[in-house]
Amino acid sequence: MKMGDSLNHLWDELNLSDTGFQDSYLANYFYPHSLMTILQYWEYLTDRQISQATRTRLDMKYAMHLPLNFPGIEPAALCGFRQRVLAEWKALEAMQWLIHSLNSLVDRREAVGANRVVSAVCLPSRAEHTLEHMSMALEAIAATDPHWLKVHTMPHWFGRYHLTLDQHKFPLDPKEVKLMIQSVGNDGLHLLAEIEKSEAAHLSRLPEVASLSEEWREQFIQEGNVLKFRESHCLSCSYEINIIQNISRKKEENDRKELKRG
pLDDT along the chain (262 residues), means of 10: 82 65 78 88 89 91 91 85 84 87 80 83 87 93 95 91 77 86 94 92 94 90 83 46 40 54 56
Look at residues 128, 123, 92 and name the one whose alpha carbon lies nearest to residue 245. Answer: 92
Domain count, the chain: 2
Domain that holds residue 153: 123-229
Query: What's the pLDDT score for residue 123?
Result: 86
How far is residue 89's CA from residue 104's CA, in Å, rounded to a whole number?
23
- Let me know whether 107 and 129 are in one domain: no
Residues 213 and 192 sit within 8 Å (Cβ to Cβ): yes
Does 63 reside within a domain? yes
Query: What's the pLDDT score for residue 204?
Result: 92
Burial class (CB in 10 A: 0-12, 13-18, 19+), 241: middle
Query: What's the pLDDT score for residue 242?
Result: 38
Look at residues 136, 148, 128, 123 and name the one whose alpha carbon lies nearest to residue 213. Answer: 136
Query: What's the pLDDT score for residue 135?
Result: 93
Does 118 reside within a domain? no
- Let me know whether 103 and 155 are in one domain: no
Query: What's the pLDDT score for residue 20?
Result: 67
How far is residue 235's CA from residue 44's CA, in Å, rounded to a whole number?
16
* pTM, two decimal places: 0.72
Does 247 reside within a domain? no
- Let me know whether 178 and 150 are in one domain: yes
Look at residues 95, 88, 86, 104 and name the one whose alpha carbon lies nearest to residue 38. Answer: 95
Q: Which of 85, 112, 139 is the last residue of a domain?
A: 112
Does 133 reside within a domain? yes
